Structure 1
Amino acid sequence: MKKEFVVIGLGRFGGSICRELTRLGMDVLAIDKNEDLVTEYSNIVTHAVVADSVDESVLKSLGIRNFDHVIVAIGDDIQASILTTLILKELGVKRVTSKALNEYHEKVLRKIGADQIVHPERDMGKRLAHNLVSSNVLDYLELSDEHSLVEIAANSKIDGHSIIDLDVRARYGVNIVAIKREANVIVSPQATEVIRKGDILIVIGANADINRFEVKMLHD
């Protein structure tokens, strides 16, 4: 179902969101104070407007509360980010996702009602660090401070072994919830499923357990 989004702030993060949402066929209203950025994205998104998001009357005039989701992607201006998020929630916007620059910023955003908070730089740093430490880790998604979902490439060390042979749940406390195999995805694989070299294992568990599994099972 087609949804309507607003992206406030057209820096690298906000611009990337605009491009991807548009590629996915969504309606996107892009807002920024910088006229040059608005002009750039006017040919990409559904609508692009030069506006100051801390002006409540402007947001009202844009019918902001009628959109499904508003993303506050404001860059370095923490005050503008906080005020914009607060105004959006007071205007009754259904869902607001805000970018946080640090832990203090996140705490304030939570207190004023942001529905979702993202740390793009921090999260990308963590993903890159995991990838640098081990070539087997292809992607990394933090679910909480202690749990993650990780894509790990199976190598020759576990090639030909079934999930029950590896006994990863009992030995390491992690679960293989899916296996990507070429163009196919095996969801909730059976214990008898044999892993092949090159399979992408979707593993969920505590960070410490995932690290133990990756080190013990996959390092050649």
Structure 2
Amino acid sequence: MDKGKDMNKQFAVLGLGSFGRSVALSLEKMGCDVMVVDDSYEKIQEISDKVSYAMKADVTDKDALQALGARNLDGAVVAVSEHPEANIMATLLCKEMGIPLVVAKAKDKLQGTILEKVGADSVVYPEIEMGSRIAKSMVANEFVDWIELSNDYSIVEIAVPRRWEGKSLAELDVRKKYGITVVGVMQGEKMDLSFDPQTPLPGNVILVLIGANKILEKIKIEEK
């Protein structure tokens, strides 16, 4: 995809097990351009009309991954379920191709350590973290939704904090102040990924943020 023509965030999801499919559909719902790769024709057919691009291929095939336009991707989620070695190889290839953010799924801590050593920016333990996510969703009332990317990073939807109302994203400069990224602004059912950073934030919108859990938690506590 030509990023110059499409300012949406672009992500690749490699592997369409239950976790990979969930992440792909969640990112697409948030207005991102999502490209998925899996070696199962059935899984590709099932999701092809729900994401921006779906390709049947081996996730360890460098040529296939390059066909996604890796240089234009904002990130990739490596989520092969059946073959840990494929997860490791795909993670290595993604980093070699220069994808800035690579989140890799691990079955256990040993595999997670290996994934980190080959370059994964963040490692996800879906089976381990599900309990944590459920618990967090029960207490994080300020957040509309919370999607854990790893033990340390999450995507959240949050109502505009009261002290942010009437201020522009440029004025707030949350990336510099908090180290978090505003992915988009949701007004009703519409996701605006090109919200003017100079426009004051109204109080009736939802912000979609990506950042470290400890920072997101801090924002929540400050608003109480």
Is the TM-score greater than 0.5? yes
Question: What is the aligned partner in structure 1 of residue 70 from structure 2?
Answer: 64
**Identity of counterpart residues, as a percentage?**
35
Residue-by-residue CA offset, 1:160-192 (whole Å, 9 max, x unaligned)? xxxxxxxxxxxxxxxx9577xxxxxx8444xxx
Aligned counterparts of 1:32 and 1:7: Cα–Cα separation in 2:
9
5+ long unaligned stretches in structure 1: 145-175, 180-185, 190-220
For 1:24-63, list aligned pairs within 5 A.
24-63=30-69
- Displacement, 1:137? 5.2
1:125 aligns to what SS in structure 2? helix
**1:103 paired residue among 90, 106, 109:** 109
Query: Which has the higher Rg, Structure 1 or Structure 2?
Result: 1
Unpaired runs of 5+ residues, structure 2, are 1-6, 141-145, 153-216
Distance in 2 (alpha carbons) for counterparts of 1:143 and 1:8: 20
Aligned-partner residue type, residue 111 of structure 1: K
The number of residue pairs the alignment matches comes to: 147
**CA-CA distance at 1:37 after TM superposition:** 0.5
Instruction: Give me the CA root mean square deviation.
Output: 2.7
TM-score if structure 2 supplies the norm length? 0.59
Change (3 A) 1:178 1:53: closer
Look up the SS of the partner of 2:34 in the other structure.
Answer: strand
Other-structure match for 1:86: 92
Distance 1:4 1:44 in 2: 15
1:93 aligns to what SS in structure 2? coil
Structure 1 residues 46, 110: closer, same or farther in 2, change over 3 A? same
Cα-to-partner distance string for 1:129-170 (whole Å, 9 max, x where unaligned): x59xxxx954698966xxxxxxxxxxxxxxxxxxxxxxxxxx
Task: State the SS of the aligned residue for 2:37.
Answer: strand
Structure 1 residues 1-220: aligned runs within 5 Å: 2-127=8-133, 138=139, 187-189=222-224
**CA separation of 1:9 and 1:143: change in aligned 2, threshold 3 A:** closer
Give the structure-1-normalised TM-score. 0.60
Deviations 1:87-137 (A, max 9, x none): 111111111110011011010011111011111110113455x59xxxx95
> Contact conserved, 1:65 with 1:88, CA < 8 A, in 2?
no
Question: Contact 1:3–1:68 at 8 Å: present in 2 too?
Answer: yes
- 1:21-80: CA deviations, max 9, x gaps? 111111010110000100111110011000101111221233223211111011121000
Judged with a 3 Å threshold, the aligned counterparts in structure 2 of structure 1 residues 19 and 187 are, in CA distance, closer, same or farther, namely: same
Q: Measure the CA separation in 2 of the matches of 1:127 and 1:26.
A: 22
